[in-house]
Amino acid sequence: MEKIYAFAQLKQYANPSQQDRFVMRFDVSQTQVSFEIDGKVIDKCNLHRILNVSENCIFKVMEEDEEELFFKVCIKYGEKIACYPELLENFAFKLRQEVNEDDEIKDEVYKLMRSGEDRKMACVEWNGTLTEDEMDKLRCLQMGSFEISTQFCKIGYWELEGEVLFDMFHPTLIYLLHGYMPSLSCDFTEANTMLFSDVLNKDYDDYQNNKREIDAILRRIYRSHNNTLFISKNSGCRNMLL
């Protein structure tokens, strides 16, 4: 994180007319981040090392806008660590909290995943019913569990030509914002890898493999709750993206 932040700072300090010379990008496999000046690679960083997961951890391919958000979050982590190194204490819980609660990051997440929704809007109270089969299908949205007040926190949606489209927040970005633990005095690589592979990637695969049926359920819930999945139950709600 610190290296990504340092390169971003280097680019920022350059004359605005020269900043295009500084490029940070993924390789084709999205397992390496390269740092380039004038098209020449001056350094590389392994994504497994950045995220503190084992080399056998498989990453889902990110789209270009997801890559952009990834770098913005990494830069924010690097900034927080540089300014407040004490945030690395206590398993970096406060570090993740600082990044998650940053308004700039929140705005970017909503811009990517719920571009038509005001993230400061009031939640809508649950008023629907679901069958056992429908609830089972939705369990992959929340690590195999089901609770209306938290069920949709990884789901983005957009209106397009009168239709609503859904997608799940990319597992790499979810991990980065909610599960990431940097290398500290204890080694969290194994625990991080299990979270990434056994939970986040699995949920993502289960959603994509059953997307048609799940989206049909989500569409009905969305339309019956004033065109949102920011839904509360008994006034409790954690269905915001961050």
From first to last of its 242 residues, the chain has per-residue pLDDT tens of 999 999 999 999 999 999 999 999 999 999 999 999 999 999 999 999 999 999 999 999 999 999 999 999 999 999 999 999 999 888 888 999 999 999 999 999 999 999 999 999 999 999 999 999 999 999 999 999 999 999 999 999 999 999 999 999 999 999 999 988 886 645 788 889 999 999 999 999 999 999 999 999 999 999 999 999 999 999 999 999 97
> CB neighbours (10 Å) of residue 154?
25
Question: How far is 190 from 119, CA to CA, in rounded Å?
Answer: 34
Alpha helices, H only, the chain = 2-13, 47-51, 64-83, 93-100, 103-113, 132-138, 171-174, 189-194, 201-209, 211-223
In the numeric block, the tokens 């004359």 are attached to 15
Residue 237 belongs to some domain of the structure: no
On whether residue 163 sits in a domain, the answer given is: yes
With respect to residue 239, please indicate whether it lies within any of the assigned structural domains. Answer: no
> Is residue 241 assigned to a domain?
no
Q: What's the predicted TM-score (pTM) here?
A: 0.94
Please indicate, yes or no, if residue 120 is contained in any of the structural domains: yes
Q: How many domains does the chain have?
A: 1
Domain that includes residue 20, residue range:
2-232
Predicted local confidence at residue 185, as pLDDT: 43
- Whether 242 maps to a domain, the answer reads no
